[in-house]
Structure 1
Amino acid sequence: MIINSPNLRMLTTGYRANFQLGLAAVTSSWARFATEVPSTTSDELYPFLNQIPGMRKWIGERQLKNVSTGEYRLVNEDWEDTIKVTRNAIEDDRYGIYSPLMTMLGDAAARQPDELVFPTFARGFNTNCFDGQFFFDTDHPVLDADGSATSVSNMQAGGGPGWYLLDLTKAVKPIIFQNRRKPVFAAMDNPDDESVFMRKEFVYGADSRNTSGFAFWQTAFGSKAALDAPNFKAAFDAMSLFKKDYGAPLAITPNVLLVGPTNRSAGETIVKKANLAGGESNLDYGRVELVVAPWLG
């Protein structure tokens, strides 16, 4: 191929089409576990309510819920992936071998939210959420029926790989996916670009801007204890008993057990086997859906 601007623009158009094919072919998983929040600036401030909202009987004046005085801010991060194509490859009409790489570039860009969202669960053991406590913590502040401050736990301590019991039926999911800019394809394909002059390379890539954080801790329970029937039951029961301030039930119903590959077998034993080792019925069979996420280890 002759190296000139019209030919290079045509090549970029083809590579962009390959990128879009890869981008569109991916069926990602993150949207089930995270609420997407559009972002219009470098960061977003979330003045979350202190608890999940709920209706009440209207007696007298409206009861105004206080917005959390603490700031929960998520700063967008930049993401990129880049491929170099040598000028010699284009001159020698070998540019076609890079088309699958451009498709893989689109595939990788589409999978980046999965790679961001699922490890966020693991960060919940040592990263604050909106109430100033770690997302998975033993000391979330909640007011009891008398208005006295109490501490509520949504975690089990331990030394094993994390596993997570989730209620994904709520309008707001446990994780926030803050999306500033979706993946875009870009190219340095001018024959006069510095990369061509200095290194004989045309550069193609994708970039995006986003980040992740935590929503309501009440929709998730994290554990590093052994994934066995007693610990699963304790986590399930704890979530079922979560209350709003002043004692009204939150009606949390866990419906997903999220694990990494290490805990796959243990999770299957708990919720996918109809009978226990002794032959008796497994009361936890089918209680929740088991989801195995490779990003959790």
Structure 2
Amino acid sequence: MIITPDRIKALFVTFNKQFQDGVKLADTSYKTVASVVPSTTAANVYAWLGQFPQMKQWIGSRTLRDMAAHGYTLNNILYESTVPVARTAIEDDQIGVYGPMFQMQGQESEQYPNRDIFKLLARGDSELCYDGQNFFDTDHPVYEKVDGTGTTTAVSNLFTGDGPAAWYLMDTTQPIKPLIFQQRVKPQITNKQSDATSDKVFMDDTYLYGIRARSAAGFGLWQLCVKSTKPLNAESYQEAWQALRNMKADGGDPLNVRPEMLVVPSNLLPAAKAVVGVETLPGGGSNPNYGLSKILDCAWLN
């Protein structure tokens, strides 16, 4: 087969179709626990994190509060993935063998945030969030006054024990979720060469098809998530559930957190089902925790 610019363009259409087919197969579990926030610059500053707008009776002029500003910044990171296609494969009309690879590339382009989001979640007890504390910590400061001043109360969203693995209870129903996926450039497939005179084809007899993306993973509101390394059972689940239900904003107003998502690695799936997935307890009687939370079996935490 003679390779022409038109032939290369037609191949790109084929490869792009296979790439898009792979996108449809992607696991996007990260969207369950992370807010997807668009970015238009090299970094986003989330100065508003921790501010909870509250309604009050309007008497006289509006009340203007100087809310505490935070300097939590997420810098976008550059990512790439490249698939080389041998010129000989095009000449010999053997490009069909590349179909699965382009599907996998498309799948990876849509699900790579899982790796960043859930690895960050696992490191949450050693990574700082907007209030200067580790995201999972035993002494997050909650202030007496709504503007972030006054005396503080230490609040914990971390419970440590000797369980086989860490698990997480969270509220994913709020406008801002426990984590943030910041998207600057969405992955798209492109090809570099259009004819055989390009440097890469001339030197290596290879055509290149690649994707690039820019994004970042970060923490949202610590008040919406609890980490526990205790054995996952009814007692430890209730400890985490009550901690989230009792979360308050600065000033003491309840946040009405709903602990509706239980995130576990696969080895804790049976324990999670025993806690919230069965209506009747093994010894008889109804399970008071049944249906309080959905279960997310997260392979990215394995």
- Show the counterpart of 2:264: 259
Shift of 1:49: 4.3
3-state SS of 2:24 partner: helix
Shift of 1:153: 0.6
> Of 153, 159, 175, which aligns to 2:179?
175
Residue 152 (1) aligns with residue 155 (2): yes
Q: Structure 2: which amino acid aligns with 1:219? A: L
| Whole-Å separation in 1 of the counterparts to 2:142 and 2:55 | 18
- Show the counterpart of 2:220: 215
- Show the counterpart of 1:103: 103
Residues 50, 67 of structure 1: 8 Å contact kept? no
Write the deviation string for residues 121-146 of structure 1: whole angstroms up to 9, x where unpaired.
21211111100111111111112479
Shift of 1:150: 1.3
Residues 171, 258 of structure 2: 8 Å contact kept? yes
| Whole-Å separation in 2 of the counterparts to 1:169 and 1:65 | 27
- Show the counterpart of 1:74: 74
- Show the counterpart of 1:34: 34
Count of residue pairs the alignment pairs up: 297
- Show the counterpart of 1:50: 50
3-state SS of 1:136 partner: coil
Residue 279 (1) aligns with residue 284 (2): yes
- Show the counterpart of 2:143: 143
Q: Structure 2: which amino acid aligns with 1:264? A: L
Say which is worse superposed, 132-141 or 98-107, in terms of deviation. 98-107
Shift of 1:30: 2.4
- Show the counterpart of 1:93: 93
Residues 125, 136 of structure 1: 8 Å contact kept? yes
Identity %: 37
* Alignment RMSD (CA, Å): 1.9
Residue 83 (1) aligns with residue 83 (2): yes
Shift of 1:13: 2.1
| TM-score under structure 2 length normalisation | 0.91
Q: Structure 2: which amino acid aligns with 1:167? A: D
Gaps of 5+ in 1: none
3-state SS of 2:251 partner: helix
Write the deviation string for residues 73-110 of structure 1: whole angstroms up to 9, x where unpaired.
00111222211111111111111221222122111111
- Show the counterpart of 2:234: 229
Say which is worse superposed, 51-60 or 148-157, in terms of deviation. 51-60
Shift of 1:147: 3.7
Q: Structure 1: which amino acid aligns with 2:22? A: G
Residues 278, 290 of structure 2: 8 Å contact kept? yes
Say which is worse superposed, 93-102 or 53-62, in terms of deviation. 53-62
| Whole-Å separation in 2 of the counterparts to 1:262 and 1:256 | 17
Residue 194 (1) aligns with residue 199 (2): yes
Say which is worse superposed, 61-70 or 239-248, in terms of deviation. 61-70
Gaps of 5+ in 2: none
Shift of 1:117: 2.3
